[in-house]
Amino acid sequence: DVKVTQSSRYLVKRTGEKVFLECVQDMDHENMFWYRQDPGLGLRLIYFSYDVKMKEKGDIPEGYSVSREKKERFSLILESASTNQTSMYLCASRYLTGSTDTQYFGPGTRLTVL
């Protein structure tokens, strides 16, 4: 069974702290994604990775960075957390063929920055 796990379900941090969110998938997928989800805005892409050590900015990369040292693991880093980064963060890995484009999501991390 497909599995994407995230390191924390809930996280509370203070403004200015460095925050690490980790995501692990067990499906050997090449593509992995980080989204944030806010009410009324849907899912917005922060960064994605199409292979180990390969990454590209999504639609809202400011204030974030990522790391993909191993195929199964994709980390999101908030260099200096700010209150406007309070959100639900969702990681996904992707199964892509000619006939489907399926993303498998982790359970999410609800981050509160005080």
Partner 1 sequence: GQSLEQPSEVTAVEGAIVQINCTYQTSGFYGLSWYQQHDGGAPTFLSYNGLDGLEETGRFSSFLSRSDSYGYLLLQELQMKDSASYFCAVKRGGFKTIFGAGTRLFVKA
Residues in contact with partner 1 by the rule CB under 8 A: 31, 33, 35, 40-45, 48, 50, 56, 58-59, 90, 94, 98-108
Least distance in Å: CB of 87 to partner 1? 14
Q: Which is nearer to partner 1, 9 or 18 (CB)?
A: 9
Q: What angle do CA 95, 70, 102 make, to 5 degrees?
A: 10
15 by DSSP, 3-state: which?
A: coil
CA-based nearest residue to 31, from 51, 13, 14, 16: 51
Least distance in Å: CB of 66 to partner 1? 13
96 forms bridges with which residues in the sheet? 101
Q: Which is nearer to partner 1, 13 or 94 (CB)?
A: 94
Least distance in Å: CB of 15 to partner 1? 26
Instruction: Sort strands 109-113 and 10-13 into parallel, antiparallel or unpaired.
Output: parallel
